[in-house]
Structure 1
């Protein structure tokens, strides 16, 4: 018997929290920009506004192209039974959606739609597939926004706070909101991937807590280390980020990703992933990642230690502002605890730890089983060996989900790319 995929009230709470954090982050950034403008700090104002604008343009282009892709999918449907209102609403609203994207409102519109569909699915037994489909797109856009806009803003705001003698509460609020928003975006993406698996219990409780702490602490350590390097010299941090981004881009290009339909957007996608990899681990394609993840954080520890050592060696007492020791200790402590949380998560809470028994039980009760080779199940993990997948004519995800899955016409190709490639 197939396991029914559900959208729980906890899933809706995650979506609502992400909605509030997104607007809090954007609102505080704009407020900070206004404060800099009023204080005649035009350099800081321009940098804050540039980060917001560049991120918005990239996100709107992805969002609009995904609407276009979904409209093409709808047009290719041969059976009238698969043309649900979920797709019809997308294709019929293209003109005004285009206008909204031009005015940088694509993401708020997606949030409103996801909240509406999520509320119906969680509280009124609405269309679960539509809610999961909408939230999958939104979670990926939020992840892009977090590292295109949030992370650079966070480095800038943290540096300004350390250098400035007259900081105000809105600057501290912006830093706190950005830290939380970035970490929450990774958790929201994690939840979206887990919803693509048939076990609804994978997105609640201790797995979320440890995953959130793992991302929050490791990302915080990276941002603080970059901030410490900025205080040494601006050219030093530019050189470091270019070298690090180049290394990550080599890794991304070697994966030969096929995330986007157009070549131009695929290049933009790879650039974005390269930026994400500067701050946190991101499995470009759904591969076995234990070795890659281990090597990534070994490299991260080495790079962080190198930055701290370099700053202590090259900084003289004349430029020492008195915060180097506290920041250095915070960096190493955050990175260490974050890696420990990652180990606990993958050892105790990752789906591969406790999905085998459920899979075997479901296989015994199913009439259609298929033995598949070990393939990846999600962006931060892989499927256990010799797993059994039960298929109900869902060809699009037959290579990724190692449990019984319900038949659905609304499989989000963008998420399944991450799950299966």
Structure 2
């Protein structure tokens, strides 16, 4: 209740009476942000962000073309096992990303931001067929490009914010795809290269494109996380470079170590991967992740995190994770050295029938260890100099139904004459806050930002 010059204002939750200046107004209320919170935080859409969107699309299309080329080349070389394994990687990664995309479209609330492209496919019930035919990522790229082109030169804050939402989900999907497809392809291609006497063009091309896609996915993820940091704590390009370098220097030795082990003992690698992957999945469960809406979706996310952890560190909880990171790097560093040691032992045993390596094995192992240690040092430098320490994040969204706030009411009203002045009510003038859990893309954005910075 509020008192204004002898008249009183009454609010109920749905149907209510609003009495002011001798008139009663009946109607329905709509929850709005409190005046101090009406101004939503704008996410800025910059030219580099647009360039990254187009570059990511181009690399995605090039990667698809080279995937087909690689399958054909392996078939012509009669390497049917490698061809079958590559097809398994391609289909498995594509199905994984399509499942995530389909789940996120299915869980989307009415209040979630939508684009013209999404409205079109929903109106014609095309969400399912698009993902069944493995076109979910293409659809999201189409949404992003159309919304980016339409909103960049216009003073349309809504389109720019929706573009950031699209970039966020797409960056997560591309990150999942990078570790389920690109890194796995790197392992396969490097293993093939080690056993080849002459280097083939498609193998070299796939290694370069896979590295580029992985690098761009890491860089895009870092740059998108910058959108949540207040301007005074913005990270420059130097932080992106260091973030990219320490990830690459830690992933590179791991990928090479796994590749060499695969080239020597492929059957034992399967047992090694499944055992370690299972342990990493349960480690993600032990950290009580809460990224998806359903339990089945959450276990899918944990399995994906386990796959990422097999090659690189990925923070899945907020708060202090220094101990977890130390344990992870010690375990994975030791495991990589174990794989390299087994590979070197196998080459020593089979040296009579194996051709010479293009590089001295001792030098190769020393270089990999040096790169890994350099990556650890770069990571420490990044968190010391470039990573904001618990910054204020722009995670508040403009949708009033998705965050706690003290609501006010707007009325659809009808005037009725009121002759009696009502008595003051003893109720408090403060309206209690409402807390509604975040869901959909808003939840994913908030969790990713908090896990990245805290």
Band of TM-score, shorter chain: 0.7 to 0.9
Please state if 1:28 is matched with 2:66.
yes
The residue aligned with 2:448 is 418
The residue aligned with 2:106 is 68
The residue aligned with 1:108 is 138
Aligned equivalents of 2:440 and 2:62: distance in 1?
31
Give the C-alpha shift of residue 125 in structure 1: 3.8
Please state if 1:164 is matched with 2:196.
yes
Give the C-alpha shift of residue 413 in structure 1: 2.1
The residue aligned with 2:317 is 285
CA offset digits 1:29-61 (Å, max 9, x no partner): 221111111222221111111110111111111
Give the C-alpha shift of residue 397 in structure 1: 6.9
* 2:324 alignment partner, SS class: helix
The residue aligned with 1:52 is 90
Identify if the C-alpha distance between structure 1 residues 22 and 391 changes in structure 2 by more than 3 Å, giving closer, same or farther. closer
CA contact (8 A) 1:397 1:416 kept: no
CA contact (8 A) 1:159 1:230 kept: yes
The residue aligned with 2:248 is 216
The residue aligned with 1:342 is 379
Please state if 1:254 is matched with 2:286.
yes
Aligned equivalents of 1:3 and 1:101: distance in 2?
33
Give the root-mean-square deviation of aligned CA atoms.
Answer: 3.2
Please state if 1:176 is matched with 2:208.
yes
Please state if 1:242 is matched with 2:274.
yes
Aligned equivalents of 2:355 and 2:182: distance in 1?
27
Give the C-alpha shift of residue 181 in structure 1: 0.8
Which structure 2 residues correspond to residues 340-379 of structure 1 after superposition, within 5 A? Answer: 340-352=377-389, 355=391
Name which structure has the greater RCO, CA cutoff 8 Å, separation 6+. Answer: 2
Aligned equivalents of 1:107 and 1:136: distance in 2?
13
* Equivalent residue for 1:5, pick from 22, 36, 43: 43
* 1:352 alignment partner, SS class: coil
Give the C-alpha shift of residue 396 in structure 1: 5.0
Aligned equivalents of 1:391 and 1:33: distance in 2?
45
* 2:94 alignment partner, SS class: helix
- In the alignment, structure 2 segments of 5+ residues that lack a partner are 1-38, 405-438
* 2:90 alignment partner, SS class: helix
CA contact (8 A) 2:104 2:440 kept: no
Of Structure 1 and Structure 2, the greater helix share is in: 1
Aligned equivalents of 2:398 and 2:225: distance in 1?
20
The residue aligned with 2:420 is none
CA contact (8 A) 2:281 2:306 kept: yes
Give the C-alpha shift of residue 314 in structure 1: 4.4
Aligned equivalents of 1:275 and 1:31: distance in 2?
26
User: How many matched pairs?
Assistant: 374
Give the C-alpha shift of residue 303 in structure 1: 2.1
The residue aligned with 1:274 is 306
- In the alignment, structure 1 segments of 5+ residues that lack a partner are 360-376, 379-388, 399-408
Of Structure 1 and Structure 2, the greater strand share is in: 2
* 1:315 alignment partner, SS class: helix
